[in-house]
Amino acid sequence: MDIVYIRELEVRTIIGIFDWEREQRQVVSLELEMGSDIAAAAATDTIKNALDYKAVAKRLIDFIEKSEFFLVETLAERVADIVMNEFNVPWVKLRLGKPGAVTGSKDVGVMIERGSRR
Residue among 48, 54, 66, 98 flagged as catalytic:
98
| Alpha carbon distance 14, 65 (integer Å) | 8
Pairing of strands 68-69, 2-15: parallel
- Looking at the DSSP bridge assignments, the partners of residue 114 are 92
Q: What is the largest CA-CA distance in the chain?
A: 52
| Active-site residue flag, 98 | yes
Phi/psi of residue 92, nearest 5 degrees: -140, 140
| Alpha carbon distance 77, 117 (integer Å) | 18
Catalytic positions are 98
